Amino acid sequence: MKRNNRNFRAVFALFVCITLGCIGCKDSKKTFEKTPVDMALIDSVKKVSDSSYTKPYYTGHFATAEYYLNSADSTIMQVMKDSSEHVRQVIIARNKRRLYFTQFYANGQLMASYHF
């Protein structure tokens, strides 16, 4: 009797998981708005930077990395772009501590954004 009860519970749990999975499939047709990159923030850091450079970045997600440095307050901004020149990641740090981080999916949807 206990063995049949365990089997029933397992089958019921599997049924619930499949049912919830199917309900989730209906929601997968949602469209997501692109979150614009905060170009005002990027431009403000670029404006006060002492120097900048760009280098190729060989990974599957990023093609180039742009760096903007401000020696007066030790601020560094890293802007990562994909092969289509779309901004995929921005990191701003001061004195080796991150102040800002944002990352985007390839479709332009916001993946993560943190203000430290």
> What value, to the nearest 5°, has the Cα angle with vertex 34 and ends 84 and 75?
70
Q: Which amino acid is at 9?
A: R
pTM for this one? 0.67
> Given phi > 0 = left and psi -120 to 50 = alpha, else beta, which region is 86?
beta
Mind listing the pLDDT tens digit for each residue in 99-114? 999 999 888 888 988 8
Q: Provide DSSP, the chain.
A: -HHHHHHHHHHHHHHHHHHHHHHHHHHTT---PPPPP-HHHHHHHHHH-SEEEEEE--SSS-SEEEEEEETTTTEEEEEEE-TT--EEEEEEEETTEEEEEEEE-TTS-EEEEEE-
Q: What is the pLDDT of residue 65?
A: 92
Q: What is the pLDDT of residue 11?
A: 58
Mind listing the pLDDT tens digit for each residue in 9-64? 655 655 555 555 545 555 555 565 667 788 888 898 999 999 999 999 877 778 89
Mind listing the pLDDT tens digit for each residue in 56-98? 987 777 889 999 999 999 999 999 998 888 899 999 999 989 9
